[in-house]
């Protein structure tokens, strides 16, 4: 009986040390990325590469001040209009999504830009409560350690914009043959419109659904005040 208790205590001790180690590693990696760009892109890129080994990946890092304000405001207008104000979670959007999902077969999400950054950089893409819980953990620390501008910079550089296309610079060159610094408001609204399903939707051959979404985003950009809205990030 005593050897069994010793073995259980040893297992519990190892498990405890492992959990503490993972917590410290997650905190350290999140803090470091306040200044250091992800060396391997993102976990999403790694996951896609494993699933589609023969598909080449395009990604070119672009600092936030070298990215057009049009795409910055477009993704905020499309994905997370309360981005400057919340601390990682938009509880009003979560309540609205829950109400919508109870009465509709079409599931509506309420992930903020910060949550999407946490998922894309650190986690896997499939949905589960475990992943959502870990995502929330990283979201809290990202909001604590990073500025809003840094969060937006990581989001734009790690978002998936098509099969093997990651980051706004690669997307801009691939679809419109321009740098991310030269994107027009129309191009930006089209790129933002395909983000919910970038591997099926295209900003250069947009379906009626994408065109409608892009038009809505363009209107929201104006309603938010376009470039002036970005001052709230500082």
Q: What is the pLDDT of residues 194-211, one digit of tens each?
A: 998 999 999 999 999 999
Give how many domains the chain has, as a whole number.
Answer: 1
CATH number, residue 187: 1.10.3810.10
Contact 90, 115 (CB under 8 A): no
pLDDT surpasses 70 at 96: yes
Element (H, E) at 170: helix 168-176
In a domain, 27, yes or no: no
Angle, helices 148-158/69-79, rounded to nearest 10 degrees: 90
How many angstroms separate the CA atoms of 139 and 173, rounded?
30
State pLDDT tens for residues 23-59. Answer: 898 999 999 999 999 887 899 999 998 888 888 898 9
Q: Determine, yes or no, domain membership for 163.
A: yes
Residue 165 tokens, joined: 């296309």
**Which residues have a Cβ under 8 Å from the Cβ of 17 and sit 6 or more positions away?**
none
Tell me which residue range forms the domain holding 83: 33-233
**20 in a structural domain:** no
pLDDT in tens, 111-170: 899 999 999 999 988 888 888 999 999 999 999 999 999 999 999 999 999 999 999 999
d(CA 226, CA 219): 10
d(CA 201, CA 203): 7
C-alpha span between 193 and 178 (Å, rounded): 18
Percentages of the chain per state (helix, strand, coil), in multiples of 5: 65, 0, 35
Residue 181 domain flag: yes
Percent of the chain with pLDDT over 70: 94
Decide if 63 is inside a domain: yes
pLDDT band at 101 (very low <50, low <70, confident <90, very high): low
Task: Note whether residue 25 is domain-resident.
Answer: no
Confidence band for 226, pLDDT divided at 50, 70 and 90:
confident
Q: Identify which of 173, 133, 15, 111 has the alpha carbon closest to the alpha carbon of residue 191.
A: 173
Q: What span, in angstroms and rounded, lies between the C-alpha atoms of 94 and 171?
A: 30
């Amino acid at each position: 009986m005593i050897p069994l208790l010793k073995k259980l205590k040893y297992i519990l001790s190892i498990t405890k040390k492992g959990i503490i180690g993972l917590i410290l590693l997650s905190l350290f990696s999140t803090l470091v990325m306040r200044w250091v760009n992800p060396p391997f892109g993102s976990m999403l890129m790694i996951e896609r590469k494993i699933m589609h080994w023969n598909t080449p990946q395009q990604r070119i890092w672009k600092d936030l001040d070298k990215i057009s304000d049009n795409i910055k405001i477009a993704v905020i207008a499309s994905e997370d209009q309360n981005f400057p104000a919340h601390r990682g979670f938009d509880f009003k959007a979560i309540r609205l999504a829950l109400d919508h999902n109870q009465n509709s077969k079409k599931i509506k999400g309420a992930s903020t830009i910060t949550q999407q950054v946490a998922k894309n950089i650190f986690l896997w893409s499939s949905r589960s409560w475990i992943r959502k819980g870990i995502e929330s953990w990283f979201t809290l620390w990202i909001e604590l350690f990073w500025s809003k501008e840094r969060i937006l910079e990581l989001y734009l550089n790690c978002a998936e914009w098509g099969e093997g296309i990651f980051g706004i610079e690669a997307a801009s060159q691939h679809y419109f043959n321009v740098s991310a610094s030269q994107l027009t408001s129309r191009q930006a609204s089209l790129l933002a419109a395909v983000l919910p399903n970038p591997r099926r939707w295209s900003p250069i051959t947009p379906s009626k659904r994408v065109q409608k979404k892009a038009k809505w985003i363009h209107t929201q950009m104006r309603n938010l005040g376009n470039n002036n809205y970005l001052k709230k990030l500082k």
